[in-house]
Amino acid sequence: MPTRTLSAPTGAHHDPAPASQLDVADELMSLLRDTTTEPRPDIQLEALTLAVAADLPVLLWGEPGIGKSAALTQLAESLDLPLTTVIASVHEPSDFSGLPIVGDDPAEQGVPMAPPDWAVRLVRAGRGLLFLDELSTAPPAVQAALLRLVLERRIGALQLPPGVRIVAAANPRSSAADGWELSPPLANRFVHLQWVHDHEVVVRGLGGTWPRATLPQLAPERFPQAVDFARRAVCGLLSARPALVHRLPSGETRRGGAWPSPRSWEMTLRLIAFATAADASRDVLSLLVRGAVGDGPGLELLASLDRMDLPDPEDLLADPAGAELPERGDLRQAVLDGVVAAVRRTPEKSRWDAAWALLVRALETGAPDLVVVPATTLAALRQQDWDVPESIEALAGTVSLSRRAEQAAARAAVATKARR
């Protein structure tokens, strides 16, 4: 029963009313909320920030309680954007397509579709972060109504201003309350980011120190180069792999995620340009690309990006002594394979000799095993009237040793199988 304090006569001394248990509890809650932050790289938040900056709708996938809403709150504070949260699953389709309002003369003026109050507030503010939460629990009719909002930014007769960005969150169907698979048309309008927790971040945060992510910064001087690089990357891959332009997955679950279409490739091009302009890491770029077109096409594109800046085999054959070979093993292997392929296309003695000189240079500056396959292939291209260059002697030991090692490994595998 609450304690009541009787009024004292005017001028009389009285003790202050004792604090209630709720007031005492608030003091304890205040101490629990008293935390600090520390700078910490966060590739998930960096990818989310770049996608939002590129004005692309983003969908965060993660288990309940993983921190998706907290990430959106931090992003809104970092970007100084007001956050508007809409729980998609508790709304009717008309809440997103507009509510019909009968005017004075419907036959002449028609029936306008009035937008909800949260949309009106966003238009008045001119900017903001619209957070569509619990998207995977929205029934198909509501998902259909969201198509125009996500793609065209229209709600009824209202057009959201350019300063409004859209981010959604969803739980996998297996962990969603009465969950649905996302429809393919709606899924293909989003950049899908898998949201996972970092054990160390959680432990330090519960101990009182939460991370403070540094958001990527766009460098205007990089813009022309970034746009050119993005266009060459996407167009180069799709020219070589036309089947990737549009590939609707066969399974219902995969259709509700990222998959390649002309729309998602356009999104990918924009994401590459923004990531390049911000000098984002390879991990951030990987999250963005795979989140737009899916893992398979995304990994193919990432592999082709590595090869875009590789030296031209013809330039290397023209000046093998001054050749600059990549340090990374897989890229160096690709360069050497390209050189051998160029000699195969135009087999000439001078080019064959130059290729051997390149292999020697690769042997002297990198792992010996990388030259074994190119050397074996190049040796097979020799024509009868071509003299063997002296440079082959430097490679003979490496190739011979590699073959003996392969033969020994094969014998060991046979012996192990026989013992079984």
Mean pLDDT of 3-23: 62
Residue at 6 is within a domain: no
In-domain check, residue 36: no
Domain shared by 66 and 122, yes or no: yes
Same domain, 277 and 351: no
Residues 230-268 have pLDDT tens digits of 999 999 889 888 899 999 998 888 899 999 999 999 999
**The pLDDT value given to residue 78:** 84
Residue 30 lies in a domain: no
Encoded amino acid at 397, one letter: G
**Beta bridge pairs of residue 113:** 100
The answer, yes or no, to whether residue 401 has pLDDT greater than 80, is no
Note down the domain range covering 140: 58-102+111-189
Counting the structural domains of the chain, the total is 3
The values of phi and psi at residue 285, to 5°, are -60, -40
Instruction: For residue 145, tell me if it sits in a domain.
Output: yes
Domain-ending residue, one of 281, 308, 335:
308
Do 396 and 345 reside in the same domain of the chain?
A: yes
Distances (CA, A) of 190 to 264, 284, 299: 8, 17, 18
Residues 136-190: pLDDT tens digits? 888 888 888 888 889 889 887 789 999 999 999 988 866 655 667 888 999 999 9
Higher pLDDT, 202 or 309: 202
Same domain for 151 and 253?
no
Whether residues 179 and 227 share a domain: the answer is: no
Domain contains 19: no
Same domain, 249 and 324: no
CATH code of the domain in which 142 resides:
3.40.50.300
pTM, to two decimals: 0.73
Q: Kindly state whether residues 294 and 407 are assigned to the same domain.
A: no
Q: Are residue 157 and residue 234 in the same domain, yes or no?
A: no
User: 126 and 185 share a domain?
Assistant: yes
Does residue 415 fall inside a structural domain?
Answer: yes
395 shares a domain with 332: yes
Domain assignment present for residue 135? The answer is yes
Is 389 found in the same domain as 331?
Answer: yes
Q: Show the DSSP H helices in 1-102 as ranges.
A: 21-33, 43-53, 68-79, 94-97
List pLDDT tens digits, range 366-388.
777 788 888 888 888 888 888 87
* Domain C-terminal end among 289, 308, 327: 308
Give the chain's count of helices (H) and strands (E): 19, 11
Residue type, 120: V
Question: Quick one: pLDDT at residue 110?
Answer: 64
Mean pLDDT, residues 332-361 taken together: 88
Q: Which of 308, 336, 369 is the C-terminal boundary of a domain?
A: 308
Q: Do 182 and 73 share a structural domain?
A: yes
Domain assignment present for 194: no
Q: Is 60 exposed, middle or buried (0-12, 13-18, 19+ CB in 10 A)?
A: buried
